Structure 1
């Protein structure tokens, strides 16, 4: 495919035009009197929003050179959204002003490098002034006030403040669409993951179709268990200690091992809840380590030179309660050491800061929340799909 090339003033003019076209649409939404924009995506119902980054992402210009400028200003909004989560319209307006003013001086023959250095110096001064004049939010009321302004909705503001108080500063809050009208919340305390019990014979609550054990030892391993001989030594040690319950979180549990455990449960000899390990590949290893830290267990892995046949009682973890359905599991009140949990949280926090992928950041943040406080889901429902999407965007912005 042939390439088109423009130089100097012609190139700058086209890039500026693309930047202005995007920024002029976005900046109309700025401030308390900002207007909404209707986005027609070519399918489904139109989206009504005043979120700068959502608007910028939908703009594609026909002129390829102008579209280069549009892409540059969209990157500004995207970076701001990834870093701060809000302020995308403000950053777009500032970027447009810096570019337009800078180009004026470039056209007069002033060295662009000098202009850039001046902007860098001024930027540092502005950041210092903003830091000096900033105020840290400490109370639930202050958080509610800020969230209310951003969401333009007092009910949403109060909901956000309440949820933030429940999950803590390291907790994760996500927003989902609801099938029912209004705004509701769901708080998951402890660690929750999307894998459930291996056999329906392990169900203890027929009404809810869940398996639940309390104050039980927890065996965590990355192995597939098929032979009962692999876990027989630890089962005998548990029986001698007077323990009649065990939770096993493993890659899989099948064959002779599963059949024996099910028979023992039905006879009332030993109640074992076997759960499939969450995630895949490297993510699975990370999650198993998280579970081990939370419960005070050791991950039994041949990579560490450990075998199931030699597991000791001290290698097992414990939690106040483990609840498992066919699809997911929640570990409540893990009894791991607080300093170990704090170290793990700090380690994940560093990975979040270093990550450049928004997808990876979200996954890491959720892992951190499951260890540190909890995960909250705010569900937004409305009469129409358009209104629901609008409210969801406002809630995302406020968060």
Structure 2
């Protein structure tokens, strides 16, 4: 049976859930933020400093408090998906505004005025962000933001910087666990796919157990090579060209394969064959990518082609090919760059239009391979606790650095929010519409909160520092590492402009929704939440210990 709940105490409980979640996030924010230990007496304690991971491990017995907690979780997840970093900053900002906004609405203020005012002000600030953001053009700036994004870890920041500089923003960066205690970077240059030679007889580099050719022809086909006649047609074309050949095809039957091997062993041809990469419906897409990257024309059964129709125009070429037992790497020629860029643009448009997680991942991987590089950051550590912390840091830093490279940066350390707050103070003085002044005052106060907690975590007085900051230009802020007011922009303490855009955009979208809530409809009083049960049957929230 449904229960209608519309008492003011329930609003207070929602605010309590928001406050508790924001309070936990405030402990972790900034370079000197504290760690949080999450323990439910059943599993091993987890030590975290990442906002997304922390809110994922929170739950609440009281349903009304759970609503407030859920809202902050959604905000954090939204920013994590779009930027990857700054989740605690956004959670604190939105949490403070929602708490004060709910108090005003509960006391009789019209939520329509609140909603319209917040939307208008956030739009103005977003326009300001677009105006003041600047691109990262120097390598030193990229290195600094990579180090800052990893929480000041110089080693991880350097690995991330090297990965971005070597493969670019269109490349793919994967994070893996290393087998050793030390972190390292592995770059897979060129177009690489996970298919090796069909026979070890084609090996010509016995030191690496691979087959390597320079200035190699490439023939791409989804046909099955069934007869010796087909093999002879291919070998005649290769011998006429006088170059090595990499054959990528569906299947080679035993007799034509033996024909290739015998002629290779007699030094009549330089040859290696691999099977088509990928599976199912994705095979054709990958074959088209390889054809474009190498300048080859795809021999396809859909076109009615056969090996008997083989012409010199069907062959593409690469600077170098290297084929091992399990992989094939192609170093692409520069003359195909224009075609590759057009293909990447086409794939990026597909990426924007696609909502499937798997499809998005597959298209992103294709873009990375077409761009010519995949970087693997292998994370090592001396303990599982350290490893878990490093993995969370590098994943956030990777996303934040990418956002900074693509959308630009503005002054970091939540200092920009403080300057935005000061800017809105002047706007408040000239504002004529009275109903917009209250939401403006709320936002002015909330914008200061992230920086306040950063300063508090560094054991300084936020109020005196804020009083000094309002007299300085936009690039000046408080550096928690050195405990002084300095030029953060010149020191490389910057944040992706996408973080501030995402924070304000999320605030303008989610605040009107929660502030317009008037009644709770509960289908069942005994709502089951993801919480811990002790031996006595008493429900408890996972314990949070401030380290």
Deviation at 1:375, TM superposition (A): 1.4
CA distance in 2, matches of 1:7, 1:253: 71
Paired position in structure 1 for 2:313: 314
Paired position in structure 1 for 2:127: 128
Whether the 8 Å CA contact 2:183–2:380 is kept in 1: the answer is: yes
Task: Give CA deviations for 1:248-267 in whole Å, capped at 9, x if unaligned.
Answer: 11233233222322222223
CA distance in 2, matches of 1:329, 1:5: 63
CA distance in 1, matches of 2:230, 2:76: 55
Deviation at 1:66, TM superposition (A): 4.3
Alignment CA distance shift 1:248-1:26 (3 Å): same
Deviation at 1:341, TM superposition (A): 0.6
Whether the 8 Å CA contact 1:323–1:331 is kept in 2: the answer is: yes
CA-based RMSD of the aligned residues comes to 2.6
Deviation at 1:330, TM superposition (A): 0.9
Task: Give CA deviations for 1:260-281 in whole Å, capped at 9, x if unaligned.
Answer: 2222222322232111222112
Per the normalisation by structure 1, the TM-score is 0.89
Paired position in structure 1 for 2:534: none
SS at match of 1:216: strand
Paired position in structure 1 for 2:200: 200
Task: Give CA deviations for 1:200-227 in whole Å, capped at 9, x if unaligned.
Answer: 2222222322122222211112233333
Paired position in structure 2 for 1:189: 189
Paired position in structure 1 for 2:397: 398
Whether the 8 Å CA contact 1:232–1:309 is kept in 2: the answer is: no
SS at match of 2:134: coil
Say which is worse superposed, 118-127 or 206-215, in terms of deviation.
206-215
Task: Give CA deviations for 1:225-258 in whole Å, capped at 9, x if unaligned.
Answer: 3333345433322223334x21111233233222
Alignment CA distance shift 1:223-1:71 (3 Å): farther
Deviation at 1:18, TM superposition (A): 4.0
CA distance in 2, matches of 1:259, 1:43: 60
Bigger radius of gyration, 1 or 2? 2
Deviation at 1:398, TM superposition (A): 1.8
Say which is worse superposed, 60-69 or 273-282, in terms of deviation.
60-69
Paired position in structure 1 for 2:87: 88
Are 2:178 and 1:175 equivalent residues in the alignment?
A: no
* Count of aligned pairs between the two proteins: 396
CA distance in 2, matches of 1:219, 1:196: 16
Task: Give CA deviations for 1:49-95 in whole Å, capped at 9, x if unaligned.
Answer: 21111212222334455445433322222221121121111121222
Instruction: Specify every segment of 5 or more residues in structure 2 that has no aligned partner in the other structure, as ranges.
Output: 399-547
Paired position in structure 2 for 1:351: 350
Say which is worse superposed, 299-308 or 370-379, in terms of deviation.
299-308
Whether the 8 Å CA contact 1:295–1:336 is kept in 2: the answer is: no
Superposed, which structure 2 residues align to 1:154-303 within 5 Å? 154-243=154-243, 245-303=244-302
Superposed, which structure 2 residues align to 1:90-169 within 5 Å? 90-151=89-150, 152-169=152-169
Say which is worse superposed, 205-214 or 322-331, in terms of deviation.
205-214
